[in-house]
A and B are shown apart, each in its own frame.
Chain A
Amino acid sequence: MSEQGQRLNVSSEDGVTIVELTDRKILDEVNIMQIGEQLFRIVAEAESPKLVLDFTNVAHMSSSALGVLITLHKRIREKSGKLALCCIQPAIKEIFEITRLNEIFTMCSARAEAITTLG
C-alpha cells in the first residue's frame, strides 16, 4: 500500500517503511523543513522504526538536507531502529563521501538490498 505524502512517497514492505524522496532538488530550506517534519513524524509514530530512504529522484541536495538526515538517523537510533539509504546518484554519493557521512549511513545501491539489510 502506498501513501502519497507532500514530498515523500511512503510504502511498506516486510516490516520496513520505504520512503521515496520525490523532489529532484533538495535545496530549498522550506522544502527541506517539510521533508524533515514528515520524516520525523514517521519515526515518532513507529515503535522501532526500520526506514529505507530511496534517493532515486534526487539530483541535487544541500548541507541543510544532510543535517536533516543526521537528525533523522539520531532519532531512529534513539528508538533502537535502523536506517538505510539507497539508489543514490553518483554526484550525490560524492557529497556523502566528501563530508565523510558515508561512514555514518548505511548506503545500498538497490532498494531490495536496503530492505534486506534492515530485515
Chain B
Amino acid sequence: MVIASDLRAAREVAQEVLAEIARLGYSQACVFAIRLALEEGLNNAIRHGNGYDPDKTVEVSFDVNQQRAVIAITDQGPGFNPRSVPDPTSDENLGKPTGRGIMLIRAYMDEVGYNPRGNQIRMVKLNR
C-alpha cells in the first residue's frame, strides 16, 4: 500500500495493520509493541526520509498471520546508515529531545533490519 507523506494517512495504515493484529488475537503486549513500532517507523519515513515532501510517498507492506507480523516501511529519501545513529541512552545524549524512535523499535520488535540503501525498515513481531 502506498500513502502520501502525511501523518494522517500514516495513522489510517497503522489502524489497518492493528485491526488485523487484533483480529488474529495477538496479546495486548504485542499490540502495544506493534503500535509503537508502526508509529515510530512511519514518523521516521515521513519526517526524516521524505522530509514531509508532498511529492514523495511511503510504501507500507504487511504480512500478518497467527505466528508473526512482518511490516516493511519504505520511503523515497536517500536512506541512512542505522549504525550511525547515536545511542540515545548514553549519558551525553540522555537530555536530548530527539533520537529515540529507532531504539524503541529495536527494543519492542523481535527483528529489525534495513535494506542496503537504508530507506526501508523491516520489522518482525512474534505472536507469543
- Tell me, in angstroms, the Cα distance from A67 to B88 when the chains sit together: 11
* A30, A60, A103: the one within 8 Å of B36 (CB): A60
- Neighbouring B residues of A95 by C-beta, 8 Å: 36, 104
Interface size class of chain B, counting residues whose CB lies under 8 Å from the partner chain = 20 to 34
Q: Which A residues from 62 to 119 make CB contacts under 8 A with B?
A: 62-64, 66-68, 70-71, 74, 91, 95, 98-101, 103-104
Q: Which B residues from 33 to 85 make CB contacts under 8 A with A?
A: 35-36, 39-40, 43
* B7, B43, B97: the one within 8 Å of A71 (CB): B97
Q: Which A residues from 2 to 17 make CB contacts under 8 A with B?
A: none
* B43, B88, B89: the one within 8 Å of A62 (CB): B43
Contact check, B96 vs A98: say whether CB atoms are below 8 A apart. no
Contact check, B100 vs A103: say whether CB atoms are below 8 A apart. no
A62 and B36 in contact (CB under 8 A), knowing A30-B7, A98-B103, A100-B89?
yes
The digit string for B85-114, where 1 denotes a CB below 8 A from any CB of A, is 000110000111111110110010000000
Asked if A28 lies at the interface with its beta carbon under 8 angstroms from chain B, I say yes
- Neighbouring B residues of A44 by C-beta, 8 Å: none
Contact check, B100 vs A104: say whether CB atoms are below 8 A apart. no
- Neighbouring B residues of A46 by C-beta, 8 Å: none
- Tell me, in angstroms, the Cα distance from A10 to B86 when the chains sit together: 36
Asked if A37 lies at the interface with its beta carbon under 8 angstroms from chain B, I say no
- Tell me, in angstroms, the Cα distance from A74 to B103 when the chains sit together: 22
A63 and B7 in contact (CB under 8 A), knowing A74-B95, A98-B107?
no
28 A-B residue pairs with Cβ-Cβ distance under 8 Å, sorted by A, are A27-B35, A28-B11, A29-B43, A30-B7, A60-B32, A60-B35, A62-B39, A62-B43, A62-B104, A63-B40, A63-B98, A63-B99, A63-B100, A66-B100, A67-B97, A67-B100, A70-B96, A70-B97, A71-B97, A74-B95, A91-B32, A95-B36, A95-B104, A98-B103, A98-B104, A99-B100, A103-B94, A104-B94
Residues of A within 8 A of B (CB): 27-30, 60, 62-64, 66-68, 70-71, 74, 91, 95, 98-101, 103-104
Given contacts A63-B99, A104-B94, list 10 more A-B pairs with CB under 8 A: A27-B35, A28-B7, A28-B11, A62-B101, A63-B98, A63-B100, A66-B100, A99-B88, A99-B103, A99-B104
